[in-house]
Amino acid sequence: MRGAEANAAQEAARTGIAVLTTIHANSCEATYRRMVSLCKRAVDMSDETLMGYVTEAYPIIVFCKQLENKQRRMMEIMECEILADGTRNYRTLFQYIITENRMDEKGKFYIEGYHEQKCSISESLSKRLLENGMPVEMIKNMKRREETMK
């Protein structure tokens, strides 16, 4: 998304159409704010209303980044859980943990790391995925991971 089409995309996503898109932002949370600013190019609504729409439309954000060594990594996968009172709970599901970041004497960068699960998906996202065709066994596996993280 680069412009006002962001509003049409979130409208489609909120009505049940599967939407996968890319956008330039600096983090998972910044992605939602960027979507709001792009939607405002098409409609005159409050930031709060549009934030409600984009977080409903896109419950999962994947933040990718090109590191200094020119490799691209998924740095974070985040869920925005919408609570019963309408507030938002941002949950980092996975995060790339950098264990080594150095430059050799020739100026070549070395970056090493691994992905770590931080949280399990919410019950509301589990339900949404189930209703949209994710196999029950796959959802159960995600819940088993949560139990081992405690």
pLDDT along the chain (150 residues), means of 10: 92 91 94 96 94 95 95 96 93 95 93 93 91 90 64
Q: How far is CA 138 from CA 1, 133, 142, in A?
A: 30, 11, 7
Report field, pTM of the whole predicted structure over 0.85: yes
Which H helix or E strand runs over 38? Answer: helix 28-39
**Nearest CA to 77 among 124, 121, 39, 13?**
121
- The predicted pLDDT at position 32 comes to 95
Q: What is the pLDDT of residues 90-131, one digit of tens each?
A: 999 999 999 999 999 999 999 999 999 999 999 999 998 899
Q: How far apart are CA 91 and CA 120, in angstroms?
A: 8
